[in-house]
Amino acid sequence: CLSESFVTSLAIRSNYGIIGHLSLLHNPVMKLSERDFRKCREDMLRLRERLSDTAHLFREEMIGHLLMAHILDLYDIHARGQNFRQVPERAQQILRAFIEMLYNGEYIHNRNLSHYASALCITPHYLTEICKNVSGRPASYWIDRFTILEIARLLRRKELPLMEVADRLNFSSLSYFTRYVRKRFGMTPSAYRDGYGGD
């Protein structure tokens, strides 16, 4: 099984990676031509075949390279449908580090923009400008996005009391957590949980 962090670490390494990654996070649906569909299907079949080859001495490296080839195919498909523009190397480095912090779960402990800017040795304004220029969204949007996805995941676990969900995400109180969820989901945590049909 491939971990999300392994896939992400590969995905954001290429020149298009950080731009494409943010764009795909924001809008993950791509229309595929028949040729593109065949290419993606072949990539996935090749990956599946190699994943089952547990005796291969260089299995992890081989899977990493095959997965990177698939990611680059996806970026090629995506970039052809976008207005691709070059992003300065320094901005890419900052964005890459910022997104890696989010994928590493930093949003669980801190959702304050100043925290991320300080860790990256830049101002909050500069971090926001870089994010806006590259993704069209401010840095706070990406912090919220990761937080919201985790909240939704935890709320679907109906065995977890709401207070525990709030604690796991480092909210100071259940009432603050409820306000945060209501503002972003348009409903209370209980209403979201009640409306979710799965377990």
Tell me the pLDDT tens digit for each residue of 124-169. Answer: 999 999 988 877 789 999 999 899 989 999 999 999 999 999 999 9
| Average pLDDT value for residue range 83-109 | 83
Tokens (6 digits) for 18 = 């950080």
| Residue partners of 16: CB distance under 8 A and separation at least 6 | 75, 79, 84
Percent of the chain with pLDDT over 90: 46
Level-2 CATH architecture, domain 145-195: Orthogonal Bundle (1.10)
Per residue in 14-36, pLDDT (tens digit) is 556 566 667 766 667 788 899 99
Is the Cα dihedral 169, 172, 173, 176 positive or negative? negative
Strand, helix or coil at 153? Answer: helix
The CB density around residue 76, as the number of other CB atoms within 10 Å, is: 13
Cα(164)–Cα(102) distance, integer angstroms? 21
pTM comes to: 0.66
Cα pseudo-dihedral 148, 195, 180, 186, rounded to 10? 100
Strand, helix or coil at 186? Answer: coil
